[in-house]
Amino acid sequence: MNALAASVLAAGELVCEFSDGYRKSLLAAIAGDPPKTERVLLYDAIVSDSARVLDTQRTGRKPVDIRTDPQHVHLIQRDGPSVRVTTLTGCTRTSLTTDLCTRFTARHAWHFDTSALLDPASSFTSQPTGAATGTCEPWRVD
């Protein structure tokens, strides 16, 4: 288990905010405005290989598979013949008392096949450059 996975498991719940990578405004970039939050995901009931997700753009809680590779944690939601994948890519803030991550960098993309379930690392490397970028944090921080 990598360090990111240990932090996710210890958190038990994550709140993730993403800006839409496809709608980057040139005027906002010139003005220095921060990206607009387009999607919020709440991952709960996190255990070693599964969780549930509540999405601001969809109704109801959906089951999620959790896969890890040496550098990333992949939260994979099946959606018919496709999958929606949130990949935690790094840690930008840690707790001083527990040394666990309290803010993760993340990317979210919709893959039109289910290969992420079999090989999430390869699926992540082929992710489109316009995938949504954002951060995830534990719901509760002690």
- Residue 64 has a pLDDT of 97
Residue 64: domain span: 3-138
Q: Tell me 2's DSSP state.
A: -
Q: What share of the chain is helix, strand, coil (3-state, %, to 5)?
A: 20, 45, 35
Task: Give pTM, 2 decimals.
Answer: 0.88
Rounded Cα gap, residues 24 and 140, in angstroms: 31
Please give the sequence-ordered ranges of beta strands (E in DSSP) within the chain, or none if there are none.
14-19, 37-44, 50-55, 61-68, 73-79, 82-94, 101-111, 132-138
Task: Indicate the number of domains in the chain.
Answer: 1
> Which range among 10-19, 39-48, 127-136 shows the weakest confidence by mean pLDDT?
127-136
Confidence band (pLDDT; 50, 70, 90) for 36? confident
| 74 Rama class: left (phi>0) / alpha (psi -120 to 50) / beta | beta
CATH of the domain at 44: 2.40.128
Q: Sorting pLDDT into bands at 50, 70 and 90, what band is 32?
A: confident
3-class DSSP assignment, residue 57: coil
pLDDT tens column, 60-69: 999 999 999 9
Which amino acid belongs to residue 104?
F
The pLDDT-based confidence of 139 (bands split at 50, 70, 90) is confident
